[in-house]
Amino acid sequence: MTLSRDLFLAILSMDSYNQGHGKGVDHGASKIGTATFKQDDNSNEAQAAGFYAVAYDTQYGTVISYRGTDNPSIFADEVTGAGDITAGWVTGGGVWQTDQVRFSQEFFQAATGTVGENANVADAILTGHSLGGGLAGVIASLHGQEALVFDNMPFELASDSAQDAANSDTLFGIAVRGYAQDTFYNGGEPWEIDRSKISAKSLNFEILQDLRDLGGQETAVEAYESHSDASRLNFVDRALKLHMMDYLVQFMFAAENSHDDWQSLGREFYEAYFSDEIATSAGSKNLNGAAGEAAKMGRAIAYSALDEGNLIFGDTGIRAMFDDLDELGYVYNSTFDPGRDGLLAANDNQGNRGAIGRAA
């Protein structure tokens, strides 16, 4: 089955974490499947602000991927820059006057060749995960661009606030009107917000679902189930595991390829997937990058969903894994086996070797 457009964009959304500074997995590739690296913003100024974005030439046109949180702190980091809590997350609450939003706008215009022009004449697809999905949503809303965002930070309030500021004629508003117009509207009057081409996907119960619900996000979100009894998970696990972009890729792939029998083993799959011990035994230490062992394994498996072009980690890892999981799930569904936890761990280890081993 040919890789879908949405799954392809999900992989490019994940790839923003593995390009530029602070790569989670340093795969060293400038071609991701059929997408070719076009340009990025890896400048010292952007890095200091905690910002990174990358653009690709694809069969669908220019795709811009905004990186999400890589420094969940209020303190600056030497590699990842400013703490994302104060430099990025505030945009989820409606704050648009941040360096990360400004860099998002500037990179969007640089990648689409619209510097010095009205940005709404651009034509690109924006994507991103978490904080990056929020930044993509802000820019897409302001300029009527197509976007597919994943586990996104809320963005509607920030984009509405930016446009309101550019329109403001109040005494206080005049002070920021010029900045808003210069930043987003080429120094002129703002055009209408347009979110008609924005769509979103997430994993049910991932941590930002609560914020989107609380803020009343109007953009519909298609939710995937992890079948891991996710409602039992605590705040930390929902943020550091269920919220991971590579984990969402797994379930998008399974859904698109009619892998269903594994679902009764979803809780055990969750435990095995985030096991550093299994990742290490599968060869994750052969991968360079700043991510933990389980995270490197998960990203390598997610890349193996690619089926043409430059196959960074081959194209068998994720397919073999779900084929094996389906077989195990079928057996379990037919006859309960009290030793299934150990069987699942062994199966997951074996299925993941195909993705990890290619980097050894």
Residues 202, 293 share a domain: no
Per the domain annotation, does 320 fall within a domain? yes
Residues 282, 182 share a domain: no
Identify the CATH number of the domain in which residue 113 sits. Answer: 3.40.50
Range of the structural domain that residue 296 is part of: 257-360
Residues 261, 219 share a domain: no
Residues 196, 344 share a domain: no
Residues 281, 141 share a domain: no
Per the domain annotation, does 112 fall within a domain? yes
Per the domain annotation, does 238 fall within a domain? no
Q: What is the mean pLDDT of residues 325-340?
A: 76
pLDDT-wise least confident of 25-39, 161-175, 206-220, 244-258: 161-175
pLDDT-wise least confident of 109-123, 226-240, 272-286, 341-355: 341-355
- Reply yes or no on whether the pLDDT at 345 is more than 60: no
Residues 326, 211 share a domain: no
Chosen domain end from 184, 212, 227: 227
Per the domain annotation, does 244 fall within a domain? no
Q: Which residue has the tokens 């969750």?
A: 270
Query: What CA–CA distance (Å, rounded) separates 341 from 351?
Result: 15
Query: What CA–CA distance (Å, rounded) separates 125 from 129?
Result: 14
Instruction: Tell which residue, 13, 11, 15, 23, has the closest CA to residue 289.
Output: 23
Instruction: Report the share of the chain in percent with pLDDT over 70.
Output: 92
Cβ atoms of 155 and 141 closer than 8 Å = yes
Per the domain annotation, does 12 fall within a domain? yes
pLDDT of residue 360: 33
Query: What CA–CA distance (Å, rounded) separates 40 from 23?
Result: 13
pLDDT of residue 351: 42
- Reply yes or no on whether the pLDDT at 61 is more than 90: yes
Q: What is the mean pLDDT of residues 204-217?
A: 91
Query: What CA–CA distance (Å, rounded) separates 211 from 231?
Result: 16
Per the domain annotation, does 247 fall within a domain? no
DSSP state of 5: H
Number of domains in the chain: 2
Residues 114, 45 share a domain: yes
Q: Hey, which of 138-152, 158-172, 229-243 has the most confident mean pLDDT?
A: 138-152
**Which pLDDT tens digit goes with each residue over 91-146?**
999 999 999 999 999 999 999 999 999 999 999 999 999 999 999 999 999 999 99
pLDDT of residue 256: 96
Q: What tokens does 7 get?
A: 């799954």
Query: What CA–CA distance (Å, rounded) separates 282 from 272?
Result: 12
- Reply yes or no on whether the pLDDT at 264 is more than 70: yes
Query: What CA–CA distance (Å, rounded) separates 87 from 347?
Result: 42
pLDDT of residue 356: 37
Average pLDDT, the chain: 90
Q: What is the mean pLDDT of residues 156-185?
A: 88
Give 216's pLDDT tier (boundaries 50, 70, 90): confident
Residues 204, 77 share a domain: yes
pLDDT of residue 353: 45
Per the domain annotation, does 140 fall within a domain? yes
Query: What CA–CA distance (Å, rounded) separates 117 from 40?
Result: 20
Residues 120, 261 share a domain: no
Residues 94, 215 share a domain: yes
Q: What tokens does 284 get?
A: 């994750």
Check residues 345 and 192 and name the one with the higher pLDDT: 192
Per the domain annotation, does 183 fall within a domain? yes
pLDDT of residue 336: 58
Chosen domain end from 209, 227, 245: 227
pLDDT of residue 79: 82
Q: What is the mean pLDDT of residues 52-71?
A: 97
- β-bridge mates for residue 203, sequence order: 224
Residues 223, 284 share a domain: no
Residues 309, 195 share a domain: no
